[in-house]
Each structure stands twice: as C-alpha cells, then as structure tokens.
Amino acid sequence: MSTIASLKVGQVGVISEENEHSIPLKLLEMGCLPGSTVELVQIAPLHDPIYINVNGSHMAIRKEIASKIKVTNLES
C-alpha cells in the first residue's frame, strides 16, 4: 500500500481507513480524515516538507508524517 510521501506530483489518492491512529490530531482537525481525497501538489527543493491538497484545503506537511499516512485508489 502507498503513502502520501510516495505519491508523485499531481497524483491523487484516498486516505485509507486503517490510518485511524497514525494521523496526528492536528491533521485530523484540518481535514485529513480517512476517506478524504489527497493530491500531492508540490515537493520542496530539499524534499521536505511536501505540499498537499486535501478536499480543497492546501497544507504543507513533513515527509516523515506523510510516510505514515496510507492511501488507496491512486490516480495520476
């Protein structure tokens, strides 16, 4: 299974239901909920942080956290 960190720029996935306990509370409050659509928008020049779009909300997250959030139904 892929993670947000393994997405390529422009690729879209759905946050997996099995992430219930691995997503930090702050991201859950910002809309990074299981079942939400996530798109990798941009990667910083030094590869951290990454810029994502979750259900229309744009946010930057650290690659370490993104590597813990699993996604399914990948589209390019």
Please report, for the chain, the start and end positions of each structural domain, with discontinuous segments joined by +.
Answer: 2-75
Question: Is residue 2 pLDDT above 80, yes or no?
Answer: yes
Question: Which pLDDT tens digit goes with each residue over 6-46?
Answer: 999 999 999 988 876 778 888 888 888 888 999 999 999 99
Domain topology for 2-75:
SH3 type barrels. (2.30.30)
Residue 52 binned pLDDT confidence (cut-offs 50, 70, 90): very high
φ/ψ (deg, to 5) at 16: -70, 150
Does the model's pTM come out above 0.85? no
Contact 52, 4 (CB under 8 A): yes
What integer pLDDT is reported at residue 76 of this predicted model?
59
Nearest to 9 by CA among 72, 52, 68: 52
What integer pLDDT is reported at residue 74 of this predicted model?
75
